[in-house]
Structure 1
Amino acid sequence: MPSATTATELWSLKTEDPAQVEQLATVLACPLTIAHLLIQRGLADPAAAHTYLNPSIDDLHDPMLMLGMSAAVERIQRAVAASEPILIYGDYDVDGTTATVLLKTAIERIAPKDKPTQVRYHVPHRLREGYGMQTTVLGDAAESGIRLVISVDTGIRAFAAAREARSLGLDLIVTDHHLPDEAVGIPDALAVINPMQANCPYPFKHLCGAAVAFKLSHAILAAAAQTDEQRSKLKQALIPSFLKLVAIATIADSVPLEGENRVIAALGLRELRNPVQPGLRALMQVAQVPTDRSPSATEVAFRIAPRINAAGRMDVASDVVELFLTRDPAHAAALAEKLHRLNDDRRAIEQQALDAIDVRLEALRSLGELTPACLVLDSTDWHRGVLGILASRVVERTSRPALVLTHEDGQAHGSGRSIPGFHLLDAITAADNTGPLFTRFGGHAHAVGFSLPSDRVELLRTRLESYGLPLSSEVTSATAIECDAELTLTELTYELTNWLERCGPYGIGNREPIFITRNATLAAPARIIKDKHICLDLAQPNGGPRLSALGWSRSTDWLARCAELTKDSRIDLAYRLRAKNNPQYPGLELELIDLRLA
């Protein structure tokens, strides 16, 4: 039997100097496998490895290092002192809604109890307003007496909105993380806070929007802390509490989980154990995420984040802000249940579109046309709220970057997702630079959003094909499975999983290790579950309990090959190692990536 998957032919396995591995393992008192992984990640220095394994709040950078921070803090302080009303201009996804909550909470905390500051917020409607700051909203704000507007997770390319704000007498503070337009620069605002902007000395550049808003929140809270007791409370209680939402946004926004992002995610996940805030607790309950332990990054990404995003995709995202601000458990439960229902609606709509996409992809494969480095798929039937998810699914199915579009009133609206090695924003920027194409676009290396006239979609497809063809070989090679170490089944222990947990959370930039075990014996025939999942029982050489290896949502070809496996078949496996979270069924299990006959 050949490889059980047609997507890959190669398992690449890195090797390290055994003497160096043993030396680091001795210093850290860790298993050799962990020392091997650390060296692979460029952490051969024991001090750097120790910091990586033990992230702490002291590893967060000083927010005042960010360009524009001083001016922003000073203006907010003046607004609070004068009890000026403030408008926070948010966005409708996880990143934008959590950023809105964080900044509103921080500003209200520094206001005197006898002179509270009115902090309003506007979260745009995805379909009626779309992404970005709208001049009409700014006009309404000015008429209502607002004089300070703070954007979160948006604004770095809002040149027209910035000009409108200035003409209306509004002070605008932009906080964002998306890439600026290098040709034009940054908007004309009182302050622009974005580590990606030119000349910003902040040492870590890849924060999500909520993390940038958190940095502003941290800065104003630190400026308001006047005593040692207040500074201690800020460090020991307030900042860890804020990191819960920042971690959710960091994981949901798919920014690299390395450097400061990994510190934020690790500390925030730790704080999510037994949450006190009614909305967060209710959301975790409807998402079936236990509250008696810290959730994993996977649980955040696939259970919590989709329910937050569902509000903006299917209805109004302001429900999310209200959920995280309310102190009423009954109201929180109702809002969480609403998000849960919206997520069910989203899944049904997504599945309908995916069925159509799968048919189209299969047709492209049969015609030999699944070759461009970037795919462009469009339809009039697809819901704008699920385009980003659909793009991610296409990437998963094809290992190629993808743009997915829908049409409405002569305009095509789209989202794109990419793979390592293909900078998606650079690609669509190059397509636009060839000649005007988009009415708006923005994003970063891994994700973009855009709109353009419907009659230009074919032109977009042609330009991206021209841009991507020279990169096709790189895109194809990216499908090889990068494996980290070769282990025997007897080396798979709870101690190893505990150390692997300390190396997390995992994501882009800190991928979860993949291990290889060769010549494993099946203790029973392969089982197919629900016509799409595979389950293997592996016999331990020492006669110990069977180990389960599970492969989720596999292709028909995958399942057909695995169905040929019988008891005593000997196979080589590539997998991720897991400790089961269910206390009623303890043990270890393998998440199957690939397998071959030994």
Structure 2
Amino acid sequence: MHKVIRRREQSTTGALDSSGLHPLLARVYSARGVNSPDQLELGLAHLVQPAKLLNADRAAELLANALASQQRIVVVGDYDADGATSTALALSALRSFGAEQVSYLVPNRFEYGYGLTREIVELALSRGKPDLIITVDNGISSLDGVSAAREQGIATLITDHHLAGRELPEADVIVNPNQPGCDFPSKNLAGVGVIFYIMLALRAELRRRDWFEQREEPNLGRLTDLVALGTVADVVPLDRNNRILVAAGLQRIRAGRARPGILALLEVASRQPRSVVASDLGFAVGPRINAAGRLDDMSVGIECLMCEDQAGARRLAAQLHQKNQDRRQIEQGMQQQALELLDELPLEEQGLPVAMTLYQPDWHQGVIGILASRIKDRLHRPVIAFADGDRGEIKGSARSIKGIHIRDILDAVATRHPGMILKFGGHAMAAGLSIPVAAYDEFSRAFVAEVERHAEDVHLQAVVESDGALATEEFQLQLADELRFAGPWGQHFPEPVFDGVFDIIHQRLVGGKHLKLVLSAPDSGQALDAIAFNVDLDRWPDQSVSQVEIAYRLDVNEFRGNRSLQLMVEYLRAV
């Protein structure tokens, strides 16, 4: 484990100090690139305008024409939380604008795989020929699916945020901030953010057509709870534009004005809407929606998000909660198998390779992404986990670390070894692919070799980034509250972490795997409660250790109506 203190500009910190911020918050924001108080203004009025998103105007015209002639519209989503929120948002918005014939399809990952394929076009046709197919959170690589739609005389609107390949589909309109030629300044929009922007553009187009003279104009701000959930769950970087979107959604949830499905999911996760923060969406709500797409059919997640009554939403949320419990059990078994596979490798003699591939025929396709993430976190290496697919193929889910762009790595392997990868796509940190099962060993060697070409300047040791030590007077409940509700925190705008050396007053195990500590603050001797989750049970608790170095977050522990300061330990080391 390697510790790094985040750098900050002293002049910037001073400018933020003078704005009335607490000095600690000024220090934290400065270390995250905030250089003026204006950048902390997160009202929706500060969003980048839809006109700057390439083809948003053309998409709005296409949709406005479809509404005017009451065309049959099918939304094709993806089977993760971003896809589910994107689908729910598209349907909600279009119906609020007056669409009467709009439905959705989400490919079952086990039958159809990802995106708009020829099979999905055929499925859409079997349910009544649509006039227009809209993809959300997918489609930028759907060359065959778009061609199949064109052959049937179906118009296509591709809305996506994934990186484009060498060739774009021949769709009627493509809206994607990451497509060539798009100068939209926030390249980090999630799929749900892209479709939200299109709906903003559509509303503006309908205003120009006097559409709302005959009907009520919808308030699109009511969709921001979906935008916040999908954005956080997809772990896209929280640049200022995304923080504006997430902040609006969180504000809506805290005010009790979220849709029943999100409130029900928070309830089954034992989270209070009035105090919800971004991490609750990422670690409590998102996984329960994702569980539907991982184990079964994402339609349960979409229906929960679309549900308009609390009783129905609670019933669907309970189903999603159970699916998430099932997913956890499956994942735990797979993780144990993966660790056993690692134990069989001669790592002691050769050291850890720069990247890992793992494959078991009986692993669950829907859970290999989480498995890859868990092993990546443990080894701090890029990892691809594979499970059996169809027709002699295996499907892989890749997760990477900072400095190793996993989609570019796969692209390079595909270029050096034509035909080895059947299909792939994704981001810098996550990707999916399919290869012939017979090519697994050859692919593994090629993948590791390609990562080695890019890993020379990359830390292959986990890094704890700290905002430094806290002063004695900064260990306070009010400041913990301020930090919790600042942000919003997330990918590339991380929640503040501090570090220091503390004396141990008391240590014990709780819940069988969590270390509960009472620590003595430096200088003051103030007793501080702390907890470290999922500790190494071979190492802790250790009554012979009297002093620890920890990296921690300031947090608030709520128990039976009492609130107290607590340190959430991210890393600990005996001194």
Q: TM-score, normalised to structure 2's length?
A: 0.93
Counterpart of 2:142 in structure 1: which amino acid? A
1:62 corresponds to which of 39, 49, 52: 49
What's 2:531 paired with? 550
Contact 1:91 1:132 in 2 (8 A): yes
Per the alignment, do residues 444 and 543 of structure 1 end up closer, same or farther by CA in structure 2, a change over 3 Å counting? closer
Quick one: distance in 2 between partners of 1:564 and 1:279? 49
* 2:552 pairs with 1:575: yes
Contact 1:489 1:517 in 2 (8 A): no
What's 1:92 paired with? 79
What's 1:269 paired with? 250
Quick one: distance in 1 between partners of 2:73 and 2:321? 31
What's 1:433 paired with? 415
What's 1:349 paired with? 330
Quick one: distance in 2 between partners of 1:583 and 1:219? 48
Contact 1:107 1:220 in 2 (8 A): no
Quick one: distance in 2 between partners of 1:22 and 1:269? 27
The Cα of 1:505 is off from its aligned counterpart by 2.2
Q: Give SS of 1:262's match.
A: helix
What's 2:114 paired with? 131
Counterpart of 2:129 in structure 1: which amino acid? G
Per the alignment, do residues 321 and 546 of structure 1 end up closer, same or farther by CA in structure 2, a change over 3 Å counting? same
* 2:184 pairs with 1:207: no
Quick one: distance in 2 between partners of 1:17 and 1:431? 40
* 2:370 pairs with 1:389: yes
Most deviating of 318-327 and 102-111: 318-327
Per the alignment, do residues 212 and 331 of structure 1 end up closer, same or farther by CA in structure 2, a change over 3 Å counting? same
What's 2:67 paired with? 80
Contact 2:277 2:485 in 1 (8 A): no
Counterpart of 1:444 in structure 2: which amino acid? H
Quick one: distance in 1 between partners of 2:216 and 2:518? 50
What's 1:483 paired with? 466
Contact 1:93 1:312 in 2 (8 A): yes
Per the alignment, do residues 34 and 451 of structure 1 end up closer, same or farther by CA in structure 2, a change over 3 Å counting? same
What's 1:12 paired with? 4
- Report 1:327-476 matches (<5 A): 327-364=308-345, 366-369=347-350, 371-409=352-390, 410-435=392-417, 436-476=419-459
Q: Give SS of 1:28's match.
A: coil
Quick one: distance in 2 between partners of 1:50 and 1:71? 32
- Report 1:160-171 matches (<5 A): 160-171=144-155
Per the alignment, do residues 297 and 582 of structure 1 end up closer, same or farther by CA in structure 2, a change over 3 Å counting? farther
The Cα of 1:584 is off from its aligned counterpart by 1.9
Counterpart of 1:433 in structure 2: which amino acid? T
Deviations 1:178-228 (A, max 9, x none): 1111x22x1101100000001112111111111111111222123334699
Counterpart of 2:561 in structure 1: which amino acid? Q
Most deviating of 365-374 and 355-364: 365-374
Per the alignment, do residues 548 and 64 of structure 1 end up closer, same or farther by CA in structure 2, a change over 3 Å counting? same
- Report 1:269-348 matches (<5 A): 269-273=250-254, 274-291=256-273, 293-348=274-329
Counterpart of 1:70 in structure 2: which amino acid? D
2:199 corresponds to which of 217, 240, 253: 217
Counterpart of 2:233 in structure 1: which amino acid? A
Contact 2:472 2:524 in 1 (8 A): no
Structure 2: runs of 5 or more not aligned: none
Q: Give SS of 1:486's match.
A: coil
Contact 1:222 1:234 in 2 (8 A): no
Quick one: distance in 1 between partners of 2:409 and 2:56? 31
Q: Give the length in aligned residue pairs.
A: 570
Contact 2:55 2:175 in 1 (8 A): yes
Per the alignment, do residues 234 and 449 of structure 1 end up closer, same or farther by CA in structure 2, a change over 3 Å counting? farther
The Cα of 1:295 is off from its aligned counterpart by 1.3
Per the alignment, do residues 411 and 588 of structure 1 end up closer, same or farther by CA in structure 2, a change over 3 Å counting? same
* 2:571 pairs with 1:594: yes
* RMSD of aligned alpha carbons: 2.6
What's 2:129 paired with? 145
Identity of matched residues, %: 32
Quick one: distance in 2 between partners of 1:576 and 1:234? 46
Quick one: distance in 2 between partners of 1:283 and 1:14? 35
Quick one: distance in 1 between partners of 2:258 and 2:482? 29
1:180 corresponds to which of 164, 177, 180: 164
Contact 1:404 1:414 in 2 (8 A): yes
Deviations 1:534-555 (A, max 9, x none): 1210135687863112111122
Higher-RCO chain (CA-CA 8 Å, sequence separation at least 6) = 1
Most deviating of 79-88 and 322-331: 322-331
Contact 1:521 1:571 in 2 (8 A): yes
Q: Give SS of 1:316's match.
A: coil
Quick one: distance in 2 between partners of 1:302 and 1:590? 19
Quick one: distance in 2 between partners of 1:192 and 1:595? 48
Quick one: distance in 2 between partners of 1:425 and 1:60? 29
Per the alignment, do residues 582 and 542 of structure 1 end up closer, same or farther by CA in structure 2, a change over 3 Å counting? farther
Quick one: distance in 2 between partners of 1:529 and 1:535? 6
The Cα of 1:128 is off from its aligned counterpart by 0.9
Per the alignment, do residues 40 and 277 of structure 1 end up closer, same or farther by CA in structure 2, a change over 3 Å counting? closer
Counterpart of 1:27 in structure 2: which amino acid? S
* 2:138 pairs with 1:154: yes
Quick one: distance in 2 between partners of 1:160 and 1:70? 25
* 2:561 pairs with 1:584: yes
Counterpart of 1:336 in structure 2: which amino acid? A
Q: Give SS of 1:559's match.
A: coil
Per the alignment, do residues 522 and 310 of structure 1 end up closer, same or farther by CA in structure 2, a change over 3 Å counting? same
The Cα of 1:117 is off from its aligned counterpart by 2.2
Contact 1:421 1:475 in 2 (8 A): yes
Per the alignment, do residues 577 and 173 of structure 1 end up closer, same or farther by CA in structure 2, a change over 3 Å counting? same
Contact 1:534 1:554 in 2 (8 A): yes
Structure 1: runs of 5 or more not aligned: 1-7
The Cα of 1:597 is off from its aligned counterpart by 4.8
Per the alignment, do residues 23 and 109 of structure 1 end up closer, same or farther by CA in structure 2, a change over 3 Å counting? same
Contact 1:547 1:590 in 2 (8 A): yes
Most deviating of 359-368 and 247-256: 359-368
Quick one: distance in 1 between partners of 2:208 and 2:480? 43
- Report 1:559-574 matches (<5 A): 559=540, 562-565=542-545, 569-574=546-551
Counterpart of 2:3 in structure 1: which amino acid? W
What's 1:24 paired with? 15
Per the alignment, do residues 104 and 485 of structure 1 end up closer, same or farther by CA in structure 2, a change over 3 Å counting? same
1:532 corresponds to which of 478, 501, 513: 513
Per the alignment, do residues 369 and 416 of structure 1 end up closer, same or farther by CA in structure 2, a change over 3 Å counting? farther
Contact 1:269 1:294 in 2 (8 A): no
Quick one: distance in 2 between partners of 1:204 and 1:364? 43
Q: Give SS of 2:562's match.
A: coil
Q: TM-score, normalised to structure 1's length?
A: 0.89
- Report 1:239-250 matches (<5 A): 239-250=220-231
The Cα of 1:256 is off from its aligned counterpart by 0.7
Contact 1:440 1:451 in 2 (8 A): yes
Most deviating of 539-548 and 411-420: 539-548
Per the alignment, do residues 517 and 174 of structure 1 end up closer, same or farther by CA in structure 2, a change over 3 Å counting? same
